[in-house]
């Protein structure tokens, strides 16, 4: 498992444009930076808290939280996989959903991974296909299909 200091050092080295905004405690960090995978710049926030060894927490819950602060992600219910493809809802701020960047059930990311080697790249890729989604109205970035419950809320499928 990587410590928060190791994550911070790796982020500084790999993504100097991402600034460490805050550290709520000695296990947490919050970065903010700009990703422009196509032409448009997106201000992105990444929050991460290293779990305690004995904490009973799933990979889905421990994953870094990635949100696009500006410009806000557009919602298009009539586009393929709309209103926004591949996100988790945020109850705290529905306008800032979390990007779904990997399959927790497939264990494609773990606490031994550097955010700088995985999450930031995946966020850039996600935003690139999001830009393509805005142009074509089709999601061409691949991924798992999600099921929908009777009330229309998306649910993760078992991998």
> Rule CB under 8 A: which residues touch other proteins?
13-14, 17, 34-41, 60-61, 63, 65, 85-92, 98, 100-106, 108-109, 113-114, 117-118, 120-129, 131-132, 134-136, 138, 140-144, 146-147, 153-157, 159
Q: Which is nearer to other proteins, 50 or 120 (CB)?
A: 120
The least CB distance from residue 26 to other proteins, in Å, is 19
Q: Which is nearer to other proteins, 79 or 132 (CB)?
A: 132
Q: Which is nearer to other proteins, 92 or 150 (CB)?
A: 92
The least CB distance from residue 5 to other proteins, in Å, is 19
The least CB distance from residue 54 to other proteins, in Å, is 18
The long-range contacts involving 61-68, CB below 8 angstroms and separated by at least 24 positions, are: 62/111, 63/101, 63/102, 63/104, 63/109, 64/115, 64/119, 65/98, 66/98, 66/99, 66/101, 66/119, 66/123, 67/96, 67/97, 67/98, 67/99, 68/42, 68/43, 68/44, 68/96, 68/99, 68/127
The least CB distance from residue 53 to other proteins, in Å, is 20
Q: Which is nearer to other proteins, 27 or 40 (CB)?
A: 40
- Give SS3 for 72: coil
């Amino acid at each position: 498992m990587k410590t928060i200091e190791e994550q911070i050092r790796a982020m500084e080295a790999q993504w100097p444009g991402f600034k460490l905004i805050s550290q709520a405690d000695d296990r947490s960090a919050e970065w903010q930076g700009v990703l422009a995978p196509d032409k448009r710049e997106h201000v992105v926030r990444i929050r991460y808290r290293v779990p305690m060894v004995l904490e009973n927490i799933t990979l889905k819950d421990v994953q870094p939280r990635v949100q696009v602060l500006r410009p806000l992600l557009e919602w298009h219910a009539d586009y393929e996989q709309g209103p926004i493809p591949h996100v988790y809802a945020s109850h705290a701020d529905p306008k800032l959903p979390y990007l779904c960047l990997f399959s927790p059930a497939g264990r494609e990311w773990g606490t031994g991974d550097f955010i700088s080697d995985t999450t930031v790249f995946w966020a850039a890729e996600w935003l690139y296909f999001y830009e393509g989604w805005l142009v074509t109205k089709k999601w061409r970035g691949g991924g798992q299909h999600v099921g929908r419950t009777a009330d229309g809320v998306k649910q993760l499928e078992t991998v």
